[in-house]
Structure 1
């Protein structure tokens, strides 16, 4: 049972639209959330995933606002996070309503995404929305994913790598700096702002046990500063989505109206009433989505879409250029060698709309759209690490194998895939000529690299990714 205090209930009663009831709010807040997942289309099609998992007892109920999202049920008690399909990045366990902001951000725009498109996710960890955005971008263009918490940056990178995202650059800043450092740089920006988390009570019954409206003032001040920074970093003609998992008007509608009071006619509120069937049930008079738990049987959520109609004044002078960038472009001869190595060894064609860069003996694949931003801001990590140089030749990196598609893989069955993810070598039924480095896969999606020795596959999975336990379906 959720723990409500009376102050919270009083505030909800004041906020709740007239067509909704407090009884329903309390009843739905005490119901467990429906389990929901999002298919990772960077690795597998929705149809192929449904076909694969239906044989394992999954039943799929489509989430109306996300074509890759489903509420699922299955007859087997199994830890989804320990399944082969999850560990190889075929799906992300994601609450249904949190799929709304990326959908709103790219409504009608996915066809316009090119190698020059730049998108910013201002508060990214653990990565559910970041990886959803990367999927909608089909790994094209540049996605800057920022996270303020140092410990959460590691989790963010692990999820980006697992899901095969290659167009991402990670930053670690208080997101209030983006308006100053990258003024009018981004085509689209998602600000999923830090908030009081009132909408998450179905996931955490104790979330509001000590709720105090007076403590939210500091959060609101931060939200206002962040949305101003986001608007400054947005190009003219670009779109900003502001979202929270809070329920109060002061953290939601009021923050958006604050932005309009600062920037006036440059701010245009876009209606989300037709974003998906029955979206109007959650719409405010401004066209924002204010999702209460009882409307769609989900977490509470708020989503606003804002367009930037005209240029605004830069608030601060452009900061000094940052020096000592440790990467240099790779010469044509080395590019040809790397392309040959990936093609001849793994059947992988390196993408042409990216740039190969070098740091010491490491070779990296950068999104081309990052180039004009280098020196303007410090990036924690850009793109994916392709390979390390050896005395003779190259050694591929695991994240490159996860992100770059290959037609040439050795497909493993369930038991073999489990053994591989547990760091074990795989015996082969017949001894054949050794083939050297090979990609092993499951469901025709790569798991990683092994060395084919003729009678077995020697496991090359990075040690930090080895699992003690893998859940198998009976």
Structure 2
């Protein structure tokens, strides 16, 4: 039985009334609900999991538990996510071609959903301030096959200086007191206090001040938390309305067990009733709060800031060619390695857009010069790495190529799949030669290289081996 803080119980008994508060406290002692999403970018991929219990309101989402050892996971065909946490990204208006920012993005559940909506078109900037969590974010976006993501590791202030009035949509799933995670995290209970709630509120305002600077006039901001406290939910939305003129947009979630926001818990504005609260006692998942907001079209929230001037590129040149430009010889190595592979949307005309950094060859989304001062984990699609007189395609590319039907594939049985994940090379009967995609159950999860004797050399990243 959870040892819920007495002050928390007193607070929510006053806010909800004794009966509804009792339902909440009872629900917090029940097991949390597991769910997963099926990746619509990986068209035609069949999964072995039970798809008979859909999550209401979310396409391609189902109740159930998945394993990180299954090919569905390693191929980026499924993603484990709390059902309520699926709604912030779902409620955005993101469409192909948009410029989108997920400001507090790790571990990547919301970013992968936004990447699906973009369908390889436009720009997704996925940022995380924690270096370790940013690494996980990058891995999850790569696994999902998102080709148009810029993954950054910085603060909201770092980004706002680079992207004033730039984004069509911004999602801020803000750091919070985590009350909605009580039944999943002992630390959420351990560190809960009213002082921490107010500390989180101040931090949320600091983050949002910078987020608003990056939103285009008329743009959309989706604000969410996994907490119940009005100080971090309705009060924050009230602050956005009062200080920046935001309006709260209506959304229809018919058939989804959710509750309306409470105007009396904020500034009394009736628009607060358009916010959504997901309570554990309503049976959907964990706790979540979501508000969909619209910035006025005539907003001056960016305070007239101009993009930072780009410094002149003074990098050394070799024979009249910048060091980040790829040579004709190197281009031939890349072309040879990719021969016979079908490329997904967003990689058309890749050869004319190639750049390299420390022998990593990539197709950038934004000019690297314009991003100086930011810590960049990934800028678009890394095709692979140049080595002495050869080129090795990247794991990121393998996961992206799994979106469409490929001919150069070696499909492993269950035993071979497990051995390959361990890092073993395998003997095959394939007649293919050179770099091939490696799959199991028809789901691509890696590159390998076939020798003339049929040996499949293992290129599964060492850091992911099991």
TM-score range, shorter chain: 0.7 to 0.9
Within the alignment, does 1:10 sit opposite 2:6 as a pair?
A: no
Change (3 A) 1:44 1:325: farther
- Aligned partners of 2:152, 2:336: CA distance in 1, in Å? 31
Deviation at 1:175, TM superposition (A): 1.3
RMSD over aligned Cα atoms: 2.9
2-structure distance, mates of 1:244, 1:101:
9
Using the alignment, how far apart are the partners of 1:434 and 1:158 within structure 2?
29
Counterpart selection for 2:370 from 354, 364, 374: 374
Corresponding residue to 1:398 among 384, 395, 412:
395
Partner of 1:132: 113
Could you list the runs of 5+ residues in structure 1 that have no partner in the other structure?
Answer: 74-78, 468-474
Structure 1 segment 54-453 matched on structure 2, within 5 A: 54=49, 58=50, 60-72=52-64, 80-106=67-93, 109-110=94-95, 113-114=96-97, 117-205=98-186, 207-209=188-190, 211-264=192-245, 267-272=246-251, 274-278=252-256, 281-284=259-262, 285=270, 286=272, 287-309=274-296, 310-315=298-303, 317-318=305-306, 320-321=308-309, 323=311, 330=325, 337=332, 340-341=335-336, 343-348=338-343, 351-352=347-348, 355-367=353-365, 370-371=366-367, 374-375=370-371, 378-381=374-377, 382-405=379-402, 407-408=406-407, 409-428=409-428, 430=429, 433=431, 435-453=433-451
Aligned residues: 441
Point out the more displaced range, 438-447 or 145-154: 438-447
1:258–1:412 Cα change, 3 Å:
same
Give the secondary structure class of the aligned counterpart of 1:130: helix
8 Å CA contact 1:3–1:209 kept in 2: the answer is no
Task: Return the alpha-carbon distance in structure 1 between the equivalents of residues 417 and 261 of structure 2.
Answer: 46
TM-superposed CA distance for 1:442, in Å, is 1.8
Given that residues 342 and 401 in structure 2 are in contact (C-alpha distance below 8 angstroms), is that contact kept between their aligned partners in structure 1?
no
Q: Is the 8 A contact 1:3 1:206 kept in 2?
A: no
Q: Which moved more, 1:216-225 or 1:91-100?
A: 216-225
Distance 1:21 1:179 in 2: 41
Cα shift at 1:321: 3.4
Residue 159 (structure 1) shift = 1.6
Name the TM-score, length of structure 2 as normaliser.
Answer: 0.86
Structure 2 distance, partners of 1:28, 1:393, is 58
Structure 2: segments with no counterpart, 5+ residues:
263-269, 316-321
Q: 1:263 to 1:389 in 2, by over 3 A?
A: same
